[in-house]
Chain A
Amino acid sequence: KQEVTQIPAALSVPEGENLVLNCSFTDSAIYNLQWFRQDPGKGLTSLLLIQSSQREQTSGRLNASLDKSSGRSTLYIAASQPGDSATYLCAVRGDSNYQLIWGAGTKLIIKP
C-alpha cells in the first residue's frame, strides 16, 4: 500500500531564503507525482507535475525533482516571499490506477 510522507510538517523562514520541502513515498511504481499549494478557503492549486520518466520540472522560482528509485521528491523554492506562505501537498499516482495518494502537507510561513 502506497504511503506518502512529508517532512517537515511546518516550516517558518525569513523572506528571501531558499528552501526545500521533502516528500517520500513507499512504492516506487508511480505514474506521476504532483506538488500542490493549498490556501485557506481557496482549494488546491497544482504547481508542478512530474511524470515517472522525468527527473525534474521547473516553473518560475519553483523546481521539483523526482528520484523514483529512492522514493523521494523535493520542492525547491528560491528567494521565498511572504506570498509563498501556504500548505504544500505532494501526491503520487500509482502505475495501476488513477487514484492520488496524498501526503499530509508542509505548512510554510515566510516571515517578512
Chain B
Amino acid sequence: GAGVSQSPSNKVTEKGKDVELRCDPISGHTALYWYRQRLGQGLEFLIYFQGNSAPDKSGLPSDRFSAERTGESVSTLTIQRTQQEDSAVYLCASSFAGRGETQYFGPGTRLLVL
C-alpha cells in the first residue's frame, strides 16, 4: 500500500478482555514502531522492531502488553486483560533502516476500555 495502515480504526472492549491491534508497514521499511498516545498527551514509545534483530521492548508498560512482527511485514500488538487506563490511541510507524530516517505513521487505533 501507499502508506502505513492500521486496523481496527476503533475498538471498544470490556475491562479484562484481550485485544489485538494490527499494523501494516510501508513495503520495504525494515523498522517498525508502536506508540501510545493518551488524550492530550504526547506519544509514548512502546516497542521497536528492526529487521530480524531482537525487538526493543523497553517501552512496554506491563507484561500484559506484547507485540510480534514476522520478518519485515505485519505487526500485531496484543493487550491482555485490558484495564481502563489502557484506553488511548495506539499508533504504528515504519521507516527505512537508520536512526536518521523519517517515520511514517498510520492513522492509529483508538481503544476504549469500558
Contacts and interface: CB of A to CB of B under 8 A. Distances in A.
A91 B59 CA distance: 16
A93 interface: yes
Contact of B42 (A43, A51, A103): A103
A22 to B, nearest CB: 15
B107 interface: yes
A49 to B, nearest CB: 6
Interface of B: 4, 9, 31, 33, 40-45, 48, 56, 59, 91, 93, 99-100, 102-108
Q: Is the interface of A mostly helix, strand, loop or mixed?
A: strand
A51 B4 CA distance: 24
Contacts, number: 53
Interface string A42-57: 1111100101000000
- 9 A-B pairs closest in CB distance: A102-B42, A44-B105, A43-B105, A43-B107, A102-B43, A104-B42, A46-B102, A98-B99, A99-B45
Pick from A41, A44, A51 the residue with the most CB of B within 10 Å: A44
A87 B3 CA distance: 20
A78 interface: no
Contacts of A89: 42-43
Interface of A: 4, 31-32, 34, 36, 41-46, 49, 51, 89, 91, 93, 98-105
A43 B41 contact: no
Contacts of B59: 99
A26 to B, nearest CB: 14
A93 B105 contact: no
A108 to B, nearest CB: 15
